[in-house]
Homo-oligomer: A and B are copies of this chain.
Amino acid sequence: MEMMTAIPPGSVGEVAPQRAGFLEPLILKAGKTLASYELVYETYGTLNADRSNAVLVCHALSGNHHVAGWHAGEPKKLGWWDNMVGPGKAIDTERFFVIGLNNLGGCHGSTGPASVDRATGQPYGAGFPLVTVEDWVASQARLMDRLGIGRLAVAMGGSLGGMQALQWTLDFPDRIGHAIVIAAAPKLSTQNIAFNDVARQAIVSDPDFHGGNFYAMKTVPARGLKLARMLGHITYLSEDLLGEKFGRDIKGDDYGFNYEVEFEIESYLRYQGDKFALTFDANTYLIMTKALDYFDPAREAGGDFAKAVAPAKAGFLVASFTSDWRFPPERSREIVKALVKGGKDVTYAEIDAPHGHDAFLLDNAHYHKLVAAYMDNVAAEVGAGDRARPLIVGGTELEEMKGYSGRGKP
């Protein structure tokens, strides 16, 4: 008998990524065309007979298609939203068919800057076009076509993922029943863009970046990517959480009066930065931050966001977290106000959570119950059945804290 990893309650268990190739060119907002591309995706649960129970999970800046469960041989590398998606969880895979994909331009399997451009036989590198939230939604719609899903029950995501869910309701109003838009904003603020540009400048000014064509040079702009991640990280966590977890704790017994790691927070950030630089693609980071900067549905509606959301027919669950200073609650309320003004069906929740922007990734019973309750209504609407077991809210650790072995306060 072969050893099997036991499947814990609420887990989808072992999963395998799948691939879909598209030969029909995709015309991008940037005016360029992707002649062909592949999307890597995962699915959890079963598509019901009338194909009405599909839930698309859209990822944020550094996310990917691996939303729940684990891959063969990697039982500890759980999907990034494993606490949200699974049998009995808020997104209940006993009732819903859940799809996660890696976005175009990504670095986890879908066609992106590190992929080989068939036209040249070389990695795209700097030649990979900038993609937008609209482009992603268009590519996602094609994946839904491929899977035989004419209409999504729900598109959902946090942060940049929430922006995609929102864009779905504008670009395909007849193909989506509900959007769950978490910790998002109708567009980036000036400060948001400013932080993104510092991160991008860190990457492009790294001598190992080689104008984006570092693959051929066998280099990785690790210094720049590390800085980008360190900076991003500060904005994902609340000041209070940082203070509680690391305070002014130092590694040694006294100040070292040198530039080695000294404060615990330095140790933590550098560790996260180094880890990220080893696993993430610098061009993808640039593409993702530009997609964030560009997102602005109101732009083509004369700056009127309420007018921009007029086409939407979906129901909305909008959620924000009190301590999120990247996209604080007032940004979510901008979305809500415009939707309400347009007479849309909107539920809004401002969730008291201390973790900052990353709260959308974390267990929080109130938050998960809220999503679960919303999904119960969706299930009733699409005939996806009743919840078979009590809601499972798991004990998932803050992703960014994983693997860090410093002595930060518990």
- On A, residues with C-beta under 8 Å from B are 29-32, 129-130, 187-191, 193-195, 197-198, 200-202, 204-205, 207, 223, 226-227, 230-231, 234, 239, 242-243, 245-248, 255, 257-259, 262-263, 265-266, 269-270, 273, 286, 290, 293-294, 296
With A202-B202, A255-B294, A257-B130 given, is the CB distance from A242 to B191 under 8 Å? Answer: yes
Structural contact, B201 and A227, CB atoms closer than 8 A: yes
Structural contact, B227 and A205, CB atoms closer than 8 A: yes
Structural contact, B257 and A30, CB atoms closer than 8 A: yes
With A30-B257, A205-B226 given, is the CB distance from A269 to B191 under 8 Å? Answer: no
- A239 to B192 CA separation, bound complex (whole angstroms): 9
Structural contact, A198 and B230, CB atoms closer than 8 A: yes
Closest A-B pairs by Cβ, 5 of them = A30-B257, A190-B242, A205-B223, A191-B239, A197-B266
Q: Which of B234, B239, B245 contacts A198 (CB 8 A)?
A: B234
Most buried by B among A187, A245, A293: A293
Structural contact, A198 and B259, CB atoms closer than 8 A: no
- A202 to B226 CA separation, bound complex (whole angstroms): 9
With A195-B234, A198-B269 given, is the CB distance from A207 to B207 under 8 Å? Answer: yes
- A276 to B296 CA separation, bound complex (whole angstroms): 32
With A190-B242, A269-B198 given, is the CB distance from A227 to B227 under 8 Å? Answer: yes
Structural contact, B197 and A248, CB atoms closer than 8 A: no
Question: Which single residue of chain B is at the shortest CB-CB distance from A246?
Answer: B190
Specify which chain B residues have a CB less than 8 angstroms from the CB of A296 in the assembled complex: 248
